[in-house]
Chains A and B, each alone.
Chain A
Amino acid sequence: MEHAEGQHDPATGHQHAVAVAQHHEVGQQHPLGIYFKIWGLLFVLSTASYLVDYFHLQGYLRWFLIITFMLLKAGLIVAIFMHMLWERLALMYAILVPPLLLLVLLWIGAVEGDHTFFTRGTFFGTAAEAPAKH
């Protein structure tokens, strides 16, 4: 323990910090061009998803397009702007895998919502017979 404490004397600690900083600079220093490209791409994708609403696309086509544009934008932000693309796999998996659990919550929520909708239709009579606009 004393040995470990000894390693944190100011001189070595400073050298260590510098070494880490230098190493890191090499790791996450990227040409500016890639940020401008992603910036532009995000504008295009946002415009596209806005146009989905503007032209009143409905049904499965609307859903497909909205979800696709959403996931593309999210992927670009996380991968490039947040530099996840260049991180080590250990960090990448630690952060990106746990949110997949949310799919279970999503599924439960959908089942629960449908069930509540049908019971409301059954027990609250005619007023509820018109299906809700999803």
Chain B
Amino acid sequence: MSSSPLAISIRGVSKKYTIRHDYTAPTTLGEAIVRRLRHPFARVVREPFWALKDVSFDVSRGEALAIIGINGAGKSTLLKILSRITEMSEGRVDLYGRVGSLLEVGTGFNQELTGRENIFLNGAILGMTRAEIRRQFDAIVAFAGVERFLDTPVKHYSSGMYVRLAFAVAAHLRSEILIVDEVLAVGDVEFQRKCLGKMRDVASDGRTVLLVSHNMAAVANLCSRAVVLRAGRLAFDGDVSHAIAEYSARDGATMVGDLRDRHDRAGKGEIRSTSIALRRSDGELTRAVRPYEPFEIVLSYDAKVPLAAVDVSVNIETPDGSRLLTLYSAFKNESFDVEPGPGTFVCRVAGLPLRPDTYTMDVFLGGNHAFYDHVERAVTFDIAPHDVYGSGRLPQWNEGPLLASYCWQAGGDAHEHGVLSARAARS
């Protein structure tokens, strides 16, 4: 036990969700009644799923603690319990101070309201009193840099202004305990730096920060201690560099996205994807491919019933969720009849025109106007650094995620090219 006073004490916290093994679950009252009448004694198979199991740790006042783990490890569930959005199934949490939580930037922002009105609305939603907001109003406006647009409805704001204003309100929350989830994933790098700085101020102010992020640089920068969650359990608790090492070694470098235990999926479930992996042309599974390198996506599934004309899609996204590419079989009139039981789809990709960075893949299965399965962030992969242009230079983060094949040359008269020269255009 450290000698500094406690901010949060978490004891044996568990959260149980009930998964219905029933892919035709009723969503309307009519369906529910009809099913009950048809099969009066049928029992829906329910399986408990523990999103969190027996998690215990303490956080001292003034500490900045990171919670890391892969998707589905229970990080967001824990934050939702601490911020009282959902209730735990077992355990106990003691909070020694007012909690402000920021699970999303701009919760409750309304497009039709002006910047000024949204500051008051959003501040109140985050738990500030009107007097507190009024006291901080000028600071919020200055931080966001939206003085001139205060009385303009935010629907006319650029996306950058919108995010800045939303974060500015949240950044001025004066709660003793601040809970932040992936907020750093939005906005440009310049803005992220500003947010990080603001959160460091909060921590050095003697207030307590709990941060969930996939951005290990931000985690290392801001936090001194981290806990690693794995499958709902506390896997590691200690110094941040050890935690990141532990996370990278055990969770970060998985080459195969195992989807069997992913419960955060959508769709009716007649067919479920069970794993996804990238395979190089030499047949080795890999986590990274070079730009334009040919490779295959190997997607395994398990079908419960025979299905005709199944469409497969793998969607490639940036870590903050912007869609870059959709590799949809239906675009190419390729669809598949599927027998019940396990099987595999393979997608041959001639190469991806993407800048070296980390990306994620979504998996989607559908067809016949039905939507069977969708798993977001099914696997994380890297486009490996590679000297595509043979110049030793590559586009940077602010130069777009895409690469193209191109070459520049000089020569010829403007009229020859069928365009006006600069001088002719001016006269």
A and B are interacting partners: no
Residues of A near any B CB (own CB < 8 A): none
